[in-house]
């Protein structure tokens, strides 16, 4: 029997609830909400991310398999698929974007004068993620991806300052040198 807090609850305790509520109030995230608050939405999505779930359905199935632990995870009752998907669709993404920036700022402050880090970095750290968006070739004739398929590549640049979305219509290799299984070089 568990005598302490679950690891997930301990990780979520690192997120300041007052800062989160300030962001929710700023963007009116809980406006006309009865049961499923932004905090519960964040917990469900964080659970899915931390447990490497592949979809909302997968996340909710995993939560439903652990219904006896939901209260201790901070979520409460089992959430319906439609409830979580509507919350993701209708609530402002800026709540979670600002939360991410706040957590990055806190992490920077924690390690500002730490000389024990294995890597010394000058300047800002950034990451690039890319995804291919499939398009109908008959409608988007200019977006040739393969001989029978259309699509564009969209890049996301994550820095310690902000998150940028950069749509790109050409192949990524035209813009970026790729080192296989390692990283992108711009």
What are the phi and psi torsion angles at 158 (to 5°)?
Answer: -105, 120
pTM score of the predicted model: 0.65
What does the domain layout of the chain look like in residue ranges?
7-110, 126-185
> Does the structure show a pLDDT above 60 at 180?
no
Residue-level pLDDT at 140: 80
Q: What is the DSSP string of 44-57?
A: HHHHHHHTT-SSHH
Structure tokens belonging to residue 96: 């979670």
Q: Which range among 8-12, 125-129, 140-144, 181-185 shows the weakest confidence by mean pLDDT?
A: 181-185
> What are the DSSP calls for 59-87, one per residue?
HHHHHHHTGGGHHHHT--SPPPHHHHHHH
Q: What is the pLDDT of residues 21-63, one digit of tens each?
A: 999 999 999 998 888 999 999 999 999 999 888 889 999 999 9
pLDDT digits (tens, 9 = 90+) for 73-131: 888 888 899 999 999 999 999 999 999 889 888 887 887 776 665 655 566 666 667 77
Distance CA 112, CA 120 (A): 11
Q: What is the token pair recorded at 100? A: 């991410």
């Amino acid at each position: 029997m568990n005598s302490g807090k679950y690891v997930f609850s301990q990780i979520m305790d690192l997120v300041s609830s007052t800062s989160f509520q300030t962001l929710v109030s700023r963007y009116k995230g809980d406006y006309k909400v009865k049961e499923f608050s932004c905090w519960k939405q964040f917990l469900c999505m964080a659970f899915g991310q931390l447990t490497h779930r592949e979809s909302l359905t997968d996340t909710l199935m995993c939560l439903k398999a652990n219904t006896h632990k939901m209260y201790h995870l901070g979520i409460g009752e089992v959430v319906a698929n439609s409830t979580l998907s509507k919350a993701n669709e209708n609530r402002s993404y800026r709540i979670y974007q600002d939360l991410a920036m706040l957590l990055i700022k806190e992490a920077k402050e924690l390690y500002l004068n730490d000389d024990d880090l294995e890597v010394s970095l000058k300047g800002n750290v950034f990451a690039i993620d890319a995804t291919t968006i499939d398009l109908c070739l008959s409608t988007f004739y200019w977006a040739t991806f393969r001989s029978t398929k259309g699509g564009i590549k969209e890049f996301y640049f994550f820095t310690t300052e902000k998150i940028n979305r950069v749509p790109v219509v050409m192949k990524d290799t035209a813009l970026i040198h790729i080192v296989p299984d390692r990283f992108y070089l711009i």
